[in-house]
Every structure is written in structure tokens, then in C-alpha cells.
Structure 1
Amino acid sequence: MQWSLMKDINEKRVKYLYEAVQQGTVRAAADKLNVSPSAVSRQIALLEEELATTLIERHRTGVTVTEAGAVVLTYYRELRSHQEECLSKLNSLHGLQSGH
């Protein structure tokens, strides 16, 4: 699959990847997301398939992010940061419009 032909990165799947890495295990991510571990694992596998690369290494004791996974997680963190900045600016503008 060529990168230029890819569609948007599925944000839900990246969130599941993020939580698995942050929590250290798929099970802990599932608990935090209130879904089954198989749902988390399936979403990460689908993301890996879409991106045609391995994003995490699964071990008995948990997961380890790969170099490609680290790139995707950086993208996700930046996306969230930009989203928070945008919402903050919109809230500020809303305050100006309502006279505060």
C-alpha cells in the first residue's frame, strides 16, 4: 500500500494503541476504555494492517511500542494538543463574543 493512497488514520484505533502503550498491556487499556481486551487487540491489528506496519510488540508481560508505533503515537499526541489549543482559542473567542 502506498502512503499517498491511504485514507485518514482511524483516530479510534490510534486511541486504543495509545492506551495499550500508556497502560502497558492490552488488558489494562481495555479496562480503561471499558471494552474487551479482544476489541483493543482487534483495533490495533486493523490499524497495523491499514498502515502496513507493526506498531507494537506483544509480550506475555505487556506491549512494547515499535519505532513505527512511536511515530503514530507522536502524531496522536500532537493531534490532541492541537485539538486542545483550538478548543481553548474557540472558548476565548466565545467569551469575547458574549462580552467577557
Structure 2
Amino acid sequence: MKIEEQTYIKIKIAISLNKLLSCSKDSIETKEVSNYTKSYNKIALSADLRKATVSDIFNAKSNCQIASLFPIIQAMGYSITDFAKVYDDISDSNIKKFLSQQKK
């Protein structure tokens, strides 16, 4: 399956953010970390963005601007380096899985 580069990047960003959010939720549930944001609404409020914008980025429905991405990452309690490490580890199989889940 050939995906255009812009769509490929958009999906990798969405998968990376979802993985970070999942890690945040796991940490909260085990009480290791107490201040991570765990919902689109809270992320949006903390990042000073619309909830719809955050949701669209997390679901790869819109292109993500750096001016939106950085505040989202920070609102979740992560650094750009944390995001980059997750982003670099995204494989083609992760992308295929994401796309199949989006079709449901």
C-alpha cells in the first residue's frame, strides 16, 4: 500500500501522540505520575487549542502544524525528544494497523 508522504507523516504523528497518551494513562492508573493530562478536552485547554483540533490531530484527520503539535506534547507532560523517540519507532505495520482501525 502506497501512502502519500503528507498522509504518512500525519498518521505517524497521530500514532505517536496516541502512544504517549496511552503511556500517560497507564502511569496515572499506577499512580506513578499524578499530573499528566488524559483527555482531548484537558489537552486542548492546557495547550490553548480547540478540542476539535486536538481530536483531529490524534485521529489523523487534519495536518498538524508545529504551533499545535508542541503545545499538545507539552500539555501531556512530555518533551519534544520524548515525542521524537516514539515517532522514530513507528513502523509500517503500525501505520497499517492504524488505518484498519480508522476504517471501522
Q: Same fold (TM over 0.5)?
A: no
Greater relative contact order, per chain length (Cα 8 Å cut-off, separation 6+): 2
Q: TM-score range by the shorter chain?
A: under 0.3
Higher strand share: 1
After TM superposition, the score normalised by the length of structure 2 is: 0.26
